[in-house]
Amino acid sequence: MACRIYALAQQKGGVGKTTTAINLGATLRERGRRVLLLDLDPQGALSAGLGLDPLSLNRTIYDILRSARSDMAGVVQQTDSGCDLVPANIDLAAAEIELVSEPGREQILKGKLEAVTSKYDYILIDCPPSLSLLTLNALTAAQGVIIPVQTQYFALRGMDLLFNTVEKVRTRLNPKLTIVGILPTMYDARTTHGREVLEELRETYGTQLFETVIPLTVKLADSAMAGKSIISFHQQSPAAAAYRALAEEVEKRVH
Ligand SMILES: Nc1ncnc2c1ncn2[C@@H]1O[C@H](COP(=O)(O)OP(=O)(O)OP(=O)(O)O)[C@@H](O)[C@H]1O
Ligand SMILES: [Mg+2]
C-alpha cells in the first residue's frame, strides 16, 4: 500500500487534533498498518502524550526542518503504542520565524518526508492550532486533511478560513490535497446542545463529516496523561470503539 500522509489540522485550539493523532495512530496500528506520527506543534503535546519528555529530547523535527543535511530517519523514535514518532518541543517555535526567508519554505517538510514514505502505510501530522507556516508545510506534504471539530456552540466558526486555506494550498502548492473528513469530537449525547450541534454539522457538511463521532470522556485525557492510547488504557470503552471505527472509516476513504 502506498503511504498516505494525513494532516490533523484546525486553527482552533483544544479540539482533539493531538488526541486523534495518538488514538487513530494506535487503531491503525492495531489493524496492522505501519504508522508514523509527526509532531509539528511546538507545544510537544503529541510527544508528551506518547510518553516522551519533550524537554529532554536531543533531536526533533526542528533539526530536520532547519538543516538541509539532516534526514528524517535520524529522529524517528519508537513508542510503546507501536507507532513511530518524530518528536517536537518548544525549539520548533523558532522555526516559524527562521524559515520565513527560506526559498520554498512551505515545501521543506514535503521534501524531508520523501525519505521515509516507503517505510509506512500512514503518516499522521499533528498541526499546531494556527494556520501558520508549520501548518502550511503539513498541508503541502499531505494528501489529505482530517479536521476535528468540537461539538460545541461556535463549532463552525473559523471553518471557512480553514477551507480557504486548504483551497489556496491546493491551487498553489499541492493539487493532490483533499479533505478526508471532518470529525466531530467531544460529543456529549446527554445534552440537547450536543445533539443540536451535531445535527448542524451534518446539515452543513453532509458526507464530508465522518460517521464516527468521538464521545466526550475523561478517559481520553487520562490515557494521554499516562502516555498511552485509549486502546491500551481503556480497551473496552466507547471512546476506544469510536477510534477503532474511525480507523476503519479512514481506511475506506481512499483519496
Ligand atoms: N473526546 C474527548 N473527551 C474529553 N476530553 C478530550 C477529548 N478529546 C480530547 N480531550 C482533551 O481535551 C484537551 C484538548 O485535546 P487535544 O490536545 O487533543 O486538542 P488539540 O486540538 O490538539 O489542542 P491544541 O490546539 O492545543 O493542540 C486535552 O486535555 C484532551 O485530553
Ligand atoms: Mg494539539
pLDDT tens-place string over residues 77-123: 999 889 999 999 999 999 989 999 999 999 999 999 999 999 999 99
Residue 254 has pLDDT above 80, yes or no: no
pLDDT tens-place string over residues 41-84: 999 999 999 999 888 888 999 999 998 888 898 899 999 889 99
Which residue from 179, 96, 176 is spatially nearest to 134, judged by alpha carbons? 96
> Does ligand 1 come within 6 angstroms of the Cβ of 216?
yes
Domain holding 124: CATH number?
Answer: 3.40.50.300
pLDDT tens-place string over residues 132-146: 999 999 999 999 999
> What does the alpha-carbon distance between residue 229 and residue 220 come to, in Å, rounded to a whole number?
8
What is the predicted pLDDT for the residue at 154? 87
Number of domains within the chain: 1
Alpha carbon nearest to ligand 1 atom 13, residue: 14
Q: Using the atom order of ligand 1, give the atom closest to the CA of residue 15.
A: 21
Average pLDDT over residues 22-29: 98
Work out the number of other CB atoms within 10 angstroms of the CB of residue 84: 22
> Does ligand 1 come within 6 angstroms of the Cβ of 15?
yes
* φ, ψ (nearest 5 deg) of residue 153: -55, 150
Task: Using the mean position of ligand 2's atoms as its centre, give its distance from the Cα of residue 42 in Å.
Answer: 9
Which residue from 13, 47, 177 is spatially nearest to 110, judged by alpha carbons? 177
> Does ligand 1 come within 6 angstroms of the Cβ of 19?
yes
Task: Using the mean position of ligand 2's atoms as its centre, give its distance from the Cα of residue 10 in Å.
Answer: 10
What is the predicted pLDDT for the residue at 196? 95
> What does the alpha-carbon distance between residue 23 and residue 238 come to, in Å, rounded to a whole number?
13
Residue 255 has pLDDT above 80, yes or no: no
> Does ligand 1 come within 6 angstroms of the Cβ of 220?
yes
pLDDT tens-place string over residues 165-214: 999 999 999 999 999 999 999 999 999 999 999 999 999 999 999 999 99
Of the residues 19, 50, 126, 135, which should be mutated to test ligand 1's pocket, given the most ligand atoms within 8 Å of the CB? 19
Tell if the pTM clears 0.85, that is, is over it.
Answer: yes
Cell triple for 93: 517555535
> What does the alpha-carbon distance between residue 17 and residue 147 come to, in Å, rounded to a whole number?
8
What is the predicted pLDDT for the residue at 214? 98
Which residue range(s) make up the domain with 182?
A: 4-252
Q: Do 75 and 115 contact (CB within 8 A), yes or no? A: no
Q: Using the atom order of ligand 1, give the atom closest to the CA of residue 128.
A: 27
Task: Using the mean position of ligand 1's atoms as its centre, give its distance from the Cα of residue 17 in Å.
Answer: 7
What is the predicted pLDDT for the residue at 231? 95
* φ, ψ (nearest 5 deg) of residue 87: -80, 165
Helix H, strand E, coil C: the string for the chain is: CCCEEEEECCCCCCCCHHHHHHHHHHHHHHCCCCEEEEECCCCCHHHHHCCCCHHHCCCCHHHHHHCCCCCHHHHCEECCCCCEEECCCCCHHHHHHHHHHCCCHHHHHHHHHCCCHHHCCEEEEECCCCCCHHHHHHHHHCCEEEEEEECCCCCCCCHHHHHHHHHHHHHHCCCCCEEEEEEEECECCCCHHHHHHHHHHHHHHHHHECCCCCECCHHHHHHHHCCCCHHHHCCCCHHHHHHHHHHHHHHHCCC
> Does ligand 1 come within 6 angstroms of the Cβ of 127?
no
